Amino acid sequence: MTQTVVDQLGSIIEVPLSPQRIISLVPSQTELLFDLGLGDRVVGITKFCIHPSDWFKSKTRIGGTKKVNYDAVRSLNPDLIIGNKEENTIEDIELLRTIAPVWMSDVNSYDDALSMIHSVGEITNTLPLARRLIDQIEAAFQELETFNENTNLRVRYLIWKDPYFQVGKSTFIDAMITKIGWVNICKDARYPEWQLTQDAMDVLLLSSEPYPFKEEDVQVLNLKFPNVKIAIVDGELFSWYGSRMRLAPNYFKKLIDQFTG
């Protein structure tokens, strides 16, 4: 038997009532599937799905998020593929739809992330666990809101080097910056290039992913911006929508102490 569901792109798809052979194309959503107790039902992941480590070692890898191995996918005989608008390419998704139903997320805000978790719980028949995760995430972020009364630090967040690319509006990372109580100094949408302009910036955050910034990068930028606090931050806790969001508020509290203490 099947169920008719609508994904976050508005696509209407038919999926089994309880999918048994799931492939995940997104690292953060792979971790969510693990936390929803779907160990035996997830048959394929990408080479970037590093959490949980046991799955990274044991599950069949079907290529990367941007370059899927169709033959590997087909050999696994999936009955559900879970992807994401930003992480995966249109070309890959169109081809994968000829193999199995594909449910797509589109996460650009805190509420989008919670909606994604709820929907994945529905389509995998694990809704009670999904609701529990959502409750844990909401409670953790409510504590963060109480912890951080009003810092309003002006922040720039970098995700790439040569050239530098920063995080702008309409992104999940921007939503996390706002949840901390800070102000994202980049007002452009998505991920515009940054020309190392001198502006009213209090803090410059260098992400650990997708580009792995190092301490030498901090030193170089410190010479350019001696009055700005610069630090490397955990990119997973800023950008992984899913069950990892439970861990983010405690990490954000440490950053608040670091920059305001």
Residue 142 pLDDT more than 70? yes
pLDDT at 45: 98
Average pLDDT over residues 131-148: 94
Measure the CA dihedral 238/219/229/186, to 10°.
Answer: -60
Give residue 205's region: left, alpha or beta (phi > 0; psi -120 to 50).
beta
Q: How does pLDDT run across 17-33, given as a tens digit for each residue?
A: 999 999 999 999 999 99
Amino acid at the residue 254: K
The CATH number for 148-260, chosen from 3.40.50.1980, 3.40.50.2020, 3.20.20.150, 3.40.50.720, is: 3.40.50.1980
Digit-coded pLDDT (tens) for 232-243: 999 999 999 999
pLDDT in tens, 95-104: 999 999 999 9
pLDDT band at 150 (very low <50, low <70, confident <90, very high): low
Helix ranges (DSSP H) in the chain: 27-35, 53-58, 70-75, 90-96, 110-123, 127-147, 172-180, 215-224, 235-239, 248-260
Which residues lie closer than 8 Å to 94 by C-beta, 6 or more apart? none
pLDDT digits (tens, 9 = 90+) for 104-126: 999 999 999 999 999 999 999 99
Tokens of 7: 């994904």
HEC string of 196-241 equals CCCCCCCEEEEECCCCCCCHHHHHHHHHHCCCCEEEEECHHHHHCC
Provide the pLDDT for residue 261: 67
Q: How far is CA 141 from the centre of its chain?
A: 16
Q: pTM of the prediction? A: 0.95
Return all residues near 203 (Cβ < 8 A) that are at least 6 apart.
153, 154, 155, 156, 182, 228, 229, 230, 231, 259
Residue 69 pLDDT exceeds 90: yes
pLDDT of residue 148: 72
Residue 99, Cβ density class (10 Å: 0-12 exposed, 13-18 middle, ≥19 buried): middle
pLDDT at 146 over 90: no
Q: How confident is the model at residue 149 (pLDDT cuts 50, 70, 90)?
A: low
Checking if the pLDDT of 227 tops 90, the result is yes
**Per-residue pLDDT at 1 exceeds 90:** no
Domain 2-139, CATH: 3.40.50.1980
> Residues spanned by CATH 3.40.50.1980 within the chain?
2-139, 148-260
Q: What is the spatial distance between Cα 212 and Cα 221, in angstroms, rounded to a whole number?
A: 15
